[in-house]
A and B are shown apart, each in its own frame.
Chain A
Amino acid sequence: MNRLDHFFATLLWLLGILVVAGITHIVAIFALPEITARDTYARIWGFAKPGQVAVLPPARPDKQAMPFADPALVQSVCPYDLAEGGLRLHADVEADKPLSLSFRTSAGQVFYSMSDLAAQQGKMDVVVLTPSQLEIVEADDDDDDPSQDLRLIAPETKGFVIISAFAAHPSEKADAEDSAKSVTCAVEPVAQD
């Protein structure tokens, strides 16, 4: 009898370990991206101020802004904080100069991305807004003259945009840097009534 009790008590104890291990595992899997990404992307905020575009330093064997960089890309970053208004991003697109934009949360998660193939009349105009800012902007819309802007709702107020310009040859690096730099990124006040 005593032996059986001991057996069940041990079994219960082992089951307890498994349950705790399972919970820990699930929590760790969900928490890990947040923790590691926050660490990585905290550096982004050191490169530029909200509403400014800054070209990331080119990666070198001894010094890299981010791991797994593609040496053929010249990238710039525009952090934003929607608490002060919407973010307006404008890029002029030239033929044979690939350019892409990715819109990310502060932890680096992409919520929208587009390339120059989606440009209209050689331009990319994107406005990033919070849901309440979008309501205000839409209320002011003129039905006869619809806006050509692409409006995106950001899942968080803080985030950043990564602008990537592709250099097919090393000699095109300077051109790619120019196009990564030429993108403008500005805080656009949203009229609060």
Chain B
Amino acid sequence: MSLGTAIVTRSPFFAHASILGKFLSACSLGVLLGLFVTIVEIQRGSGFAAIEAGPWTGWPRSEVSEIDPYTRAILVYSGKISLSESEAMSFVAHGDSDGGEFDPACDYVMKGAMPPARYWTVTLLSPTGEFIANAADRQGFTSSEVLRASDGQFEITLSRHARPGNWLPLGQASKFILVLRFYDSELGSPAAALDAAHMPMLVRGHCQ
């Protein structure tokens, strides 16, 4: 017995009800699956336009309307395209140079090469982009205020406890990210060298 005869032999009402049921279930399951895939993609992915350089993930400074819809959806959803993002080329780090995720019980040192820019800032934020409260009331450093050695090199220490030199306090945060922004840089151009060697390292130090 084929499907056709099976439908004919049943009453027309049940045949329609079964086709309608299949149609509706396929539609609703499809919508759920589509939304699920979208949510997973947006929360885990960083988009086609993302650039990886050591622990840093960056997005070209190009106008938001020109980037692919995936990257745009991811950036807008995460809030990373906010007020300062068109002015700067931004990089986000969720972990150290060895690939380990940031642990607020540990100290981290940011040092090494900095790509040329008119000025840069480094900011400590919660993963959703809020400032982290701390007694020193410091959220980051700018290229002008960072203390440098006589050769121009600098180190920024991220720690819960006061450290000499450039101390970026972690406060009582349970999770944090670092955002590095370059203003008026040439990094957006395709010729710009962007790899781990040209970006600062994030070295994990003592943990408690």
Q: Which A residues are within 8 Å of any B CB, using their own CB?
A: 1-2, 5, 8-9, 13, 16-25, 27-30, 32-33, 36-37, 40, 56, 59-62, 64-73, 75, 98, 100, 102, 104, 108-113, 115, 117, 162, 164, 166-170
Contacts and interface: CB of A to CB of B under 8 A. Distances in A.
Nearest to B30: A20
Interface of B: 1-3, 6, 22-23, 25-27, 29-31, 33-35, 37-38, 41-42, 63-65, 69-70, 72-73, 76-77, 79-88, 118-119, 121, 123, 125, 128-133, 139-140, 142-145, 179, 181, 183-184
Contact of B34 (A2, A25, A112, A167): A25
B76 A22 contact: no
Contact of B65 (A5, A102, A109): A109
Given A33-B76, A68-B82, 12 more contacts: A5-B2, A13-B25, A18-B33, A24-B33, A25-B34, A29-B69, A30-B69, A65-B83, A98-B119, A98-B183, A166-B142, A168-B144
Given A1-B2, A72-B121, A20 B27 contact: yes
A17 B30 contact: yes
B18 to A, nearest CB: 10
Nearest to B18: A9
A18 B88 CA distance: 40
A28 B140 contact: no
B77 A32 contact: yes
24 contacts: A5-B3, A16-B23, A20-B26, A20-B34, A21-B37, A25-B34, A30-B73, A32-B77, A33-B69, A59-B131, A61-B131, A65-B83, A66-B79, A67-B79, A67-B82, A68-B129, A75-B83, A98-B183, A117-B118, A164-B83, A164-B84, A166-B119, A168-B143, A169-B145
Nearest to B177: A68
A161 B131 CA distance: 24
Nearest to A116: B184
Contacts of A8: 3
A59 B82 CA distance: 13
Nearest to A107: B76
Most chain B Cβ neighbours within 10 Å, of A1, A24, A112, A169: A24
A21 B123 contact: no
Given A1-B1, A21-B37, A110-B63, A68 B125 contact: yes
Given A68-B125, A168-B145, A29 B70 contact: yes
Contact of B131 (A17, A23, A71): A71
Contacts of B42: 32
Contacts of A67: 79, 82, 128-130
Contacts of B81: 108
A65 to B, nearest CB: 8
A110 B86 contact: yes
Contacts of A62: 133
Contacts of A9: 3, 22
Nearest to B130: A64
B38 A32 contact: yes
A6 B169 CA distance: 64
Contacts of B33: 17-18, 20-21, 24
Most chain A Cβ neighbours within 10 Å, of B31, B83, B184: B83
Contacts of B3: 5, 8-9
Contact of A24 (B31, B65, B119): B31
B45 to A, nearest CB: 11
A70 B63 contact: no
A117 B118 CA distance: 10
